[in-house]
Every structure is written in C-alpha cells, then in structure tokens.
Amino acid sequence: MTQTQQGDPAALAAERDALAVEIAALEDPRIRAVNEKRGDTHAVNLTALRAIAKRLKSRPDLAPVLWASGNVTLRLLALLVSRPRQYSAAELDAMLREAGTPKVHDWLVSYIVKKSPHREELRTAWFTDPDPVVASAGWALTSDRVVKDPDGLDLDALLDRIEAQMKDAAPRLQWAMNDCLAQIGIHHRALRERARDIGVRLEVLKDYPTPPNCTSPFAPTWIDEMVRRGVGG
C-alpha cells in the first residue's frame, strides 16, 4: 500500500481485508482454547501479531478502520498501530465501552489511554462509573498515578474505598482495586503497613493460582516481594 493510497477509504478497506486474511491464516485453535478460559477469543500468537504491526508501523489512518471491523484480533492490531494522540476523549470512552474482551480492554488502557492527553479526564470520569468494567479502567489509571504522579491523590481515601468495596467488587474491578492497593503499599512507605493489613484482612486473591517463579497477586505477598527487591524504596 503506497502512502498516497492511505487516505482512500476503499484502499483502507482493501488493506483491512487483506490483513484479516493474513491473520486468519495464523489462527491456532489451541491458542483460542487457552484464551477462551480467560474470556478472550483471539487465536493468534501475539508475537506474530506484533510482527505484523512492526511491518505496518504507525498507521493512524488504518487503525480506526481495523477497530470498526469489530474483529477482536484486528482491534488488537489497531491499537498497536495507533497514535495515542489521535483519539479524542469521547472516542476513547466509546472504544472502552465496546472493547468487549479483557485483552482489548487492557491494551486500550495500557497502550493508548495511559499515553493520551485525555488520561486524567478519563480517569476521573471512569473511576466511579456504574459499569464495573469501565470503573476498572479508572482504577488502572489511578494505579498508574499512584506510581508515577501521586501528587494530588488522596491515598488514604483510596485505601478507605478499597477497604470498603474491594471484597465484594466484580472480578475485573476487584483485580484493578487490588493492583492499586499493592502499588500504594509498594511505593508509599508511610502507608505500607495499612495496605498490607487491608490485604491480610480481606484475603482477596489469597488463593490465586500462581506459577512457579511468579509473584502472587495477593497484595501482602506482592508488596513484600517488591520491597525485598528494592522496588518503591
């Protein structure tokens, strides 16, 4: 596809269709079976998908066309070839609400929203959204601020909210709140013992199956291990 063709809707649609055929040829039913256990539906090795994105490079013209297809794997590819600044806050909000699968949701937040100039506006809007999946994105952005830019955050109030709500939160939201709890404990020494105590009492993810050589997501264990490694000070 030449640069002069990139703005042509028909050419972009043809490129999308060619990519769909290429990606379909890479599908592996064994990958699909594993992903379906986690709520995802794509069946392509993500290393192979990243190789396609590397070949395409940044394609802000093609990305919306791939996203609009509704195909999960094409949406993942769309995020890899997007520029975070190309989307408005309203567009990102709509994309999050229609993301569908956990992997698309996670990549959208991690690769696009966290690098967007609208991230703080969206963080505050999503944080208290009645949809727990949308709210989980607000908590993910809050965790990012806890680590990188905590000035202006009321960390004690966050711990109050986690203490009151995490135990009974929906799974995606609970995971995001638990991450925030752990990050506060890891990166904020003055609140470390309170964060550990909340984790011990709530026991969220205490029995989560953790592969050998991986750190448990149970907040007290996670906090202790990261501090042992010197993360957070």
Q: Which pLDDT does position 38 carry in this prediction?
A: 79
Whether residues 125 and 231 share a domain: the answer is yes
Cβ atoms of 96 and 90 within 8 Å: the answer is no
Count of domains forming the chain? 2
Domain region containing 160? 118-233
Kindly state whether residue 32 falls inside one of the protein's structural domains.
Answer: yes
98-137 pLDDT per residue, tens: 998 999 999 999 999 999 999 999 999 999 999 999 999 9
- On whether residue 11 sits in a domain, the answer given is yes
Is pLDDT of 1 > 60? Answer: no
Alpha-helical runs (H) found in 25-170: 29-36, 46-56, 63-68, 72-80, 89-97, 102-107, 119-127, 132-148, 155-165
Structural domain includes residue 104: no
Least confident of 1-5, 63-67, 196-200, 205-209: 1-5
Pairwise pLDDT comparison (32 vs 96), residue with the higher score = 96
On whether residue 107 sits in a domain, the answer given is no
Contacts of 83 (CB under 8 A, 6+ apart): 58, 60, 63
User: Are 84 and 142 contained in the same domain?
Assistant: no
Residues 131 and 226 in one domain: yes
